[in-house]
Amino acid sequence: MRVKVSELTAYQVRIPLRKTVRHASHTRDSTENVVVRCVLQDGTEGFGEGVPREYVTGETIDEAINSLRESDLGAQLESCPDFAHAVAMAERLRLTPVPGDDRKCRRNAARCAVELALLDAYGRHFGETLGTVTKLLSPELYEFRPWVRYSGVILSASTWFKVRAAAWRARIYRFPNVKVKVGIPGQDDVFRLKNIRLRLGWQKDLRVDANEAWPRAEAAERIRALQPFRISVVEQPVPHADVDVLREVRQMVGVPIMLDESLCSMIDAERALQQGSCDLYNLRLSKCGGFIPTLRLAQFAVKHGLGYQLGCQVGETALLSAAGRQVRHQRGRYTLSRRLLRPTSGSGNVGQIRHHVPLGRLGAGLRWRRAGNHRGQGAPGADGDSAGAVERMKDAE
């Protein structure tokens, strides 16, 4: 039996973080996310999330909400007889383009929220998990794993005590991979890496992320200064405008380079390949435009002999976290001060999460908590009106 979307609603949700997160590109103590609720004709609900970041894709929260208002979503939504048709429809989803957006990424967070809501709703209706999307579109990438590995992240710890404490925590929790944020103004990266490596030991995989902090002329020198501490990867060492220099930097230092802020779309991936600017991609669902575009970028990487990992956006909720776990790749931890959702996907362990089944429940594997959101910030089931909610589409044709 065919089923169609009867209602789409977008919510602007502001969530405080447990602590201030600081890196070279930005400092934040809260996050403003886009949450989309999709309702099918039979009442089945699905939810999706996007995390707009102006310094990554150029999107603000207002632009993301407005893009959903302006895009003719109703005309793109079809009656679907099965999950495969729903997946194909979700992949064709397009939002109104932004003039001058040559990278095709200025709508990615908004698109991600809508796509995940559609896949979640149709997955629940047809009895499929998000993992089925991978089976359908990129079976060569699909391999069910009972465990998902997490990496540790050391952010802006700078004093001798804080650096030691952060390193000991990562060691105690037995994270096999640890990423350190570097390039933060006023901090001594050599001092920090030396102390972190001593406390972690030499067996742990240690990566650094500069978040575009280093000038192009200094990138190789900065990397060389950190090489004695056996770093395995350097993530986004220079601003996006300077990525053309990374081909030369890679040849000079011999350390693999990973792109993050400069890898948000297939156009970015193709340009990086042509320029020879990286060895790996850091893929994130929101900045890449959703679950399906992320899969396509992973396929592109494998086809051309490049590596990739799945990262997360600072401030993402369990919606994006659960969808990310379906991609089955390494990611960091989210640091929200409260949960919007109740995960039902598995049990926690040090440095990893175990799936009892393919993320347990259908769709994204989550149950929405309908009460207790912050006043005036708008979320499905919260009291009061939603802030910046997109008009609902009833029986969209």
pLDDT at 382 > cutoff 50: no
Which of 76, 95, 127 is the last residue in one of the domains?
A: 127
Q: Where are the beta strands (DSSP E) in the chain?
A: 5-22, 27-40, 45-50, 147-149, 152-154, 177-181, 205-209, 231-235, 257-259, 280-283, 307-310, 341-343, 346-349, 352-355, 366-368
The verdict on residue 377 lying in a domain is no
Mean pLDDT across 117-144: 93
pLDDT digits (tens, 9 = 90+) for 319-370: 898 888 887 533 333 233 333 443 333 333 445 544 333 333 466 655 555 5
Pick the more confident residue, 270 or 387: 270
| pTM for the full predicted model | 0.85
195/307 same-domain check: yes
What's the total number of domains in the chain? Answer: 2
Burial class (CB in 10 A: 0-12, 13-18, 19+), 18: exposed
311/220 same-domain check: yes
193/342 same-domain check: yes
pLDDT band at 134 (very low <50, low <70, confident <90, very high): very high
153/95 same-domain check: no
> Is residue 280 left, alpha or beta, with left meaning phi > 0 and alpha meaning psi from -120 to 50?
beta
111 within 8 A of 267, measured Cβ to Cβ: no
142/106 same-domain check: no
CATH number assigned to the domain comprising residue 277: 3.20.20.120
pLDDT digits (tens, 9 = 90+) for 136-185: 999 988 887 777 778 889 987 767 888 899 999 999 988 999 999 999 98
Rounded distance between C-alpha atoms, residue 118 and residue 116, angstroms: 5
Q: Where are the beta strands (DSSP E) in 190-320?
A: 205-209, 231-235, 257-259, 280-283, 307-310
12/67 same-domain check: yes
201/337 same-domain check: yes
Give whole-number Cα distances, 130 to 1, 116, 290, 329, in Å: 21, 9, 12, 14
247/141 same-domain check: yes
Question: Three-class SS of residue 279?
Answer: coil
Give the torsion sign (CA, 181, 183, 186, 188): positive
pLDDT at 291 > cutoff 50: yes
178/233 same-domain check: yes
pLDDT averaged over every residue in the chain: 84
Mean pLDDT across 65-90: 96
141/121 same-domain check: no
Mean pLDDT across 195-224: 96
What is the residue range of 34's domain?
Answer: 5-127
